[in-house]
Structure 1
Amino acid sequence: MKISEVARRAGVTTKTVRYYEAVGLIAPARLANGYRDYSPHDARMVREARALNQLGIPVERTRPFLECLSEGRGHVDDCPSSLAGYRAAIDDLTERIDALTARRAVLVEHLRDAAHRNSSTRPRGEESTVSDLSRLPSNLPVPEDDGAADHLPGRTMPNIDLASTAGSTVPLHALGEGRSVLYCYPLTGRPDTDVPDGWEAIPGARGCTAEACDFRDHHEELAALGAARVFGLSSQDTGYQQEVVDRLRLPFAMLSDTTLRLAALLGLPTFEFGGTTLYKRITLIIRGGAVEHVFYPIFPPNEHARQVLDWLKDNPV
């Protein structure tokens, strides 16, 4: 059998066949004219060695397996030495996996530290250098009013309590005296994580961090104009939101509605992304247990707190 036929049967190149011969894994016969004469056994040896090598077993360590086959066994792993070879290969891979996992953990920590250290965690006027999620692209699509909030003014807030990053639950039906600002948003990103593909193409999706920063920067002004409470609300869990509160230094609590109970009971607009239902960006001004005013759609999100301020100025209690 010619070398080209061996290569075809084994699914390798002729260069690989020559290499296996050079390291002594196969030893073809010689014809009278000096040409190599490969046997079907040689082709199988090459094929088995290649398969073992693809599993991560170095070529040199395939010898016990091939010797097992040469002894007349039906499979390369019918011998005790083959099983020992498997164990050695598994041990090597385990060590490499552990080392790579440790290196990955260090890289993740470096990424997180650098991204958060240089992210937009600073109030207005302080410099931000990297991963500034509060800065929005100039070409974001503008959301249109689809009428999904027309029914909300005057609606009574449902009798539900939502978990808060303040460590308690907040009864939306009994927020207390004065006005409460409840802004709902899809989800906040993190500086060490890329914006999901297609997110910026969804009208009104991008800008949750920017919106939170705007409410942070104008929190005192909102309070001075009668906003007794400000809450952010999304379907993200409280642990995730707590990181946002800490990183952005938010002076108000975030509420978590992981099952979108408020959306179901009040009929708030939502959208689907990546198989998940998320809140559309909408803000409710709540007073006396009912919805007094609605902001929807909201754009641009990084100026929304100032939009609320303007409304409060025009509509004093």
Structure 2
Amino acid sequence: MHGGGMRIGEAAHRAGVTVKAVRYYESLGLITPARLANGYRDYGEGDVRLLREIKTLSLLGIPVERTRPFLDCLTAGSAHADDCPASLAGYREVIDELTARIDGLTARRAALAAQLREAAYRNSAARPPDDAGETMHDYSQLPPGLPVPEDDGAADHLPGLKLPHIELGDTTGGTVVLDALGTGRTVLYIYPLAGRPDTDLPEGWNAIPGARGCTPETCGFRDHHQELTDAGAARVFGLSSQDGDYQREFADRLGLPFPILSDPDRRLADALDLPTFRAGSLTLFKRLTLIVRDGEIEHAFYPIFPPDQHARQVLTWLRENPLPAG
């Protein structure tokens, strides 16, 4: 390349690389600037173009040492560094190497995911499908720093309303008719979306106030189920908009002693004007719990936080508000 009156610092600056990088490229013979009479390197526009090309190819994942065919293509007068057959061959070689690396990493990832899936379900009555997702999570614990939901008054209208005539499938394979639950009190806790170990939650889930915590909440109702019954709850149900198969896996995995209802069309939200929220493409119930007595909503818990302590809150309310004798 002919000189152009540039010192190494200016050439590096114009090409967007470091002086150290320029010296390294020269040591590999990729850049050969002219020499002045005093021995100083003299860089020209052609050198800057080569430096820029090396940087571009490096960002694509092509090692510096393998950029020579591209640089030779430019030096030969081509308008683009990949106009020459040798450059195209260079692309193919790197693509083939990346493909081999991806295949190897994918196999390792699948093996690790299978081991994690096996460990996550080892003590569960439910088994994941063979093609279960590879990302596994523990949703039984609440992470620190979750945002606290505020009371927006969206449940103030519920006490005194009758439950509508809606038939919902449950995790036992049966059907529950909401306006025919029977006499006595029913605890109906409504939650947005329960995670499972092999499935990712919606993006940004932890940042949505009141969203995270459906599994710990459900574990609380499971662990206090007998106490809730002793305190006057004739029946306990969970409810969300997830489909029946998802709900059954959830109930089996947690070993629930009560059914979970599936309302994928959120008919109960429409009928009672229950609060909902958006998470990505999903519309979900906000977390709330209804105490239903003889078909009528007696009390509504909303908002609920922290969800892992909510079953105790319901238990305390039942004990402090016993049904009249007889």
TM-score under structure 1 length normalisation: 0.76
Separation of aligned partners in 2, 1:307 and 1:165: 27
Separation of aligned partners in 1, 2:300 and 2:99: 56
* Residue 18 (structure 2) aligned to one of 13, 22, 25: 13
Separation of aligned partners in 2, 1:206 and 1:14: 50
Separation of aligned partners in 2, 1:134 and 1:311: 29
- Please state how far the C-alpha of 1:82 moved relative to its aligned partner: 1.2
- Please state how far the C-alpha of 1:170 moved relative to its aligned partner: 3.5
Aligned residue pairs: how many? 302
Separation of aligned partners in 1, 2:93 and 2:79: 22
Partner of 1:283: 290
* Residue 54 (structure 2) aligned to one of 40, 49, 56: 49
The secondary structure found in structure 2 opposite 1:314 is: coil
Structure 1 position 66 matched with structure 2 position 79: no
Instruction: Report the CA distance shift for 1:88/1:145 in structure 2 as closer, same or farther (over 3 A).
Output: closer
- Please state how far the C-alpha of 1:291 moved relative to its aligned partner: 2.0
The secondary structure found in structure 1 opposite 2:238 is: strand
Identity across aligned pairs (percent)? 53
Partner of 2:134: none
- Unaligned 5+ runs, structure 2: 1-5, 127-136
Partner of 1:127: none
The secondary structure found in structure 1 opposite 2:67 is: helix
Structure 1 position 302 matched with structure 2 position 311: yes
Structure 1 position 231 matched with structure 2 position 237: yes
Structure 1 position 165 matched with structure 2 position 174: no
The secondary structure found in structure 1 opposite 2:81 is: coil
Amino acid aligned to 2:25:
Y
Instruction: Report the CA distance shift for 1:304/1:191 in structure 2 as closer, same or farther (over 3 A).
Output: farther
- Please state how far the C-alpha of 1:102 moved relative to its aligned partner: 3.4
Separation of aligned partners in 2, 1:220 and 1:35: 88
Amino acid aligned to 1:50:
K
Separation of aligned partners in 2, 1:4 and 1:136: 50
* Residue 153 (structure 1) aligned to one of 147, 153, 160: 160
* Residue 215 (structure 1) aligned to one of 218, 221, 231: 221
**Residues 171 and 261 of structure 2 are in contact (CA less than 8 Å); yes or no, is this contact kept in structure 1?**
yes
**Residues 208 and 301 of structure 1 are in contact (CA less than 8 Å); yes or no, is this contact kept in structure 2?**
no
Instruction: Report the CA distance shift for 1:315/1:186 in structure 2 as closer, same or farther (over 3 A).
Output: farther
Moved more, 84-93 or 291-300: 291-300
Amino acid aligned to 2:53:
E
TM-score under structure 2 length normalisation: 0.74
Partner of 1:314: 323
**Residues 57 and 67 of structure 2 are in contact (CA less than 8 Å); yes or no, is this contact kept in structure 1?**
yes
Structure 1 position 250 matched with structure 2 position 256: yes
- Please state how far the C-alpha of 1:175 moved relative to its aligned partner: 4.2
The secondary structure found in structure 2 opposite 1:41 is: helix
Instruction: Report the CA distance shift for 1:176/1:190 in structure 2 as closer, same or farther (over 3 A).
Output: same
Structure 1 position 80 matched with structure 2 position 115: no
- Please state how far the C-alpha of 1:42 moved relative to its aligned partner: 1.7
**Residues 231 and 322 of structure 2 are in contact (CA less than 8 Å); yes or no, is this contact kept in structure 1?**
yes
- Please state how far the C-alpha of 1:55 moved relative to its aligned partner: 0.5
Separation of aligned partners in 2, 1:135 and 1:19: 51
State the superposition RMSD in angstroms: 3.9
Separation of aligned partners in 1, 2:231 and 2:312: 17
Moved more, 176-185 or 255-264: 176-185
Instruction: Report the CA distance shift for 1:7/1:169 in structure 2 as closer, same or farther (over 3 A).
Output: farther
Instruction: Report the CA distance shift for 1:147/1:92 in structure 2 as closer, same or farther (over 3 A).
Output: closer
Instruction: Report the CA distance shift for 1:272/1:282 in structure 2 as closer, same or farther (over 3 A).
Output: farther
The secondary structure found in structure 1 opposite 2:268 is: helix
Separation of aligned partners in 2, 1:8 and 1:102: 43
- Please state how far the C-alpha of 1:260 moved relative to its aligned partner: 2.2
Partner of 2:131: none
Instruction: Report the CA distance shift for 1:154/1:34 in structure 2 as closer, same or farther (over 3 A).
Output: closer
The secondary structure found in structure 2 opposite 1:250 is: coil
Instruction: Report the CA distance shift for 1:116/1:310 in structure 2 as closer, same or farther (over 3 A).
Output: farther
Moved more, 98-107 or 88-97: 98-107
Structure 1 position 22 matched with structure 2 position 31: no
Amino acid aligned to 1:45:
L
The secondary structure found in structure 2 opposite 1:282 is: strand
Amino acid aligned to 1:219:
H
* Residue 187 (structure 2) aligned to one of 168, 177, 181: 181
Instruction: Report the CA distance shift for 1:220/1:142 in structure 2 as closer, same or farther (over 3 A).
Output: same
Instruction: Report the CA distance shift for 1:74/1:181 in structure 2 as closer, same or farther (over 3 A).
Output: same
Separation of aligned partners in 2, 1:314 and 1:140: 35
- Unaligned 5+ runs, structure 1: 122-129
